[in-house]
Amino acid sequence: MDLEASKNIAAAIAIGFGAIGPGIGIGILASKAMESIGRNPEATPKIQANMILAIAFAEAVAIYALVMSLIIKFI
């Protein structure tokens, strides 16, 4: 196996595993937010603001994994 093939496999593994965690986390986060809005509709603005902030932090981890996979692939 040559170096280029190894880089492509490593980049695929990096983004694959790097996207699984945030994907599951965002799904659980949205599920719990919808559940708590269903239980207490008056708290929707506060729950929604916190949910969006948490989604942004989780998405930052996925973007970091993407950057790492691009570094592996092109450097």
Residue indicated by tokens 């996207």? 19
For helices 3-39 and 44-74, give the axis angle rounded to 10 degrees.
180
Nearest of 28, 37, 73, 75 to residue 55 by alpha carbon: 28
Quote the pLDDT of residue 1. Answer: 81
User: What would you measure as the largest C-alpha separation in the chain, in angstroms?
Assistant: 59
Query: How far is Cα 10 from Cα 6, in angstroms, rounded to an integer?
Result: 6
Determine contact, residues 62/23, Cβ cutoff 8 Å: yes
The per-residue pLDDT string of the chain (75 residues; one tens digit each, 9 = 90 and over) reads 899 999 999 999 999 999 999 999 999 999 999 999 999 999 999 999 999 999 999 999 999 999 999 999 998
Candidates 3.40.50.720, 1.20.20.10, 1.10.3080.10, 3.40.50.1220; CATH matching 3-74: 1.20.20.10
